[in-house]
Structure 1
Amino acid sequence: MSTLARRDTKPELDLRRELHRRGMRYRVQVKVPGNNRRTIDIAFTRVRLAVYVDGCFWHGCPEHHVRPRANSEWWQWKIERNQARDADTDRELAEAGWEVLRIWEHEPPGLAADAVQGAYGELVQAR
């Protein structure tokens, strides 16, 4: 597991390319305020929008996640722990005044970018 990419995964790069193509500028791997052990995948710091691209296997996608048969109980514990960490991170960001958007890796980059652009536009208008 330690050899798996934690950043710059293909779905994340595809989304970043699409956002950049649309003229949206962002920061990558920004530390979560108040928690230096966690980072935001794609951050729009001016409007405080945090975007995460979650892997279907590691984050328990309701559509695609299939728990391995070998060591099943441990994998269930691991995925539930990841989901609890995600919820805790969302809470920490919300308390710091950030909006959080989570996108599954299976979403097409164009649709994911539409969601990001929509959330960004709403935050700009709210200012």
Structure 2
Amino acid sequence: MDTEWSAPHGSWASSAARRRNMQAIRSRDTKPEQLIRRLVHAQGLRYRVAAKPLPNLRRTADMVFRPAKVAVFIDGCYWHGCPEHYVPPKTNSGYWSQKVARNMERDRDTNRRLKEADWTVLRFWEHESPDTCALQIAATVSRLRPER
């Protein structure tokens, strides 16, 4: 039996180990998201998790406050090109750098589309203080929430 692994044609993974690593990365329910959600929930605010703010926009926000029209994104430093923490990869750097650049462009496009639809977009980096993020989210939602 041949134990050597080779990437399938057109695969993005440069090795079996890299492929396993990339498949294990969460796209939702990350630790920073969970911490911030817990803190926001403790303040009495309710929200949708991993929801589309706009039905015709094929993108999901980490937290959506529909009545207040607030979409919250907790961006990973690597995947979204954090100016403080992003470090270009050493292997397959062309592919990964282009992927991060596309993510950043998609983030800007998402912001633009949501703002055009009168939504407020809040973006935080995963390294930011969860307490500070939760306070800013709560203040924004409270200010924009329609009177009951």
* TM-score, normalized by the shorter chain, greater than 0.5: yes
TM-score (norm 2): 0.78
Structure 2 counterpart of 1:72, from 89, 93, 97: 93
Is 1:50 the equivalent of 2:79?
no
Is 1:119 the equivalent of 2:140?
yes
* Structure 1 unaligned blocks of 5 or more: none
Q: CA deviation at 1:32?
A: 3.6
TM-score (norm 1): 0.90
* Counterpart contact for 2:70–2:141, Cα < 8 Å: yes
- Give the Cα separation in 2 of the matches to 1:32 and 1:45: 7
- Give the Cα separation in 2 of the matches to 1:61 and 1:44: 25
- Give the Cα separation in 1 of the matches to 2:95 and 2:25: 18
- Give the Cα separation in 1 of the matches to 2:23 and 2:114: 26
Higher relative contact order (CA 8 A, sep 6+): 1
Q: 1:125 to 1:32 in 2, by over 3 A?
A: closer
Instruction: Name whichever structure is richer in helix by fraction.
Output: 1
Aligned length: 125
- Give the Cα separation in 2 of the matches to 1:82 and 1:99: 20
- Identity score, percent: 48
Instruction: Name whichever structure is richer in strand by fraction.
Output: 1
Structure-to-structure mapping, 1:88-107, within 5 angstroms = 88-107=109-128
**Runs in 1 of length 4+ with deviation above 4 angstroms?**
none
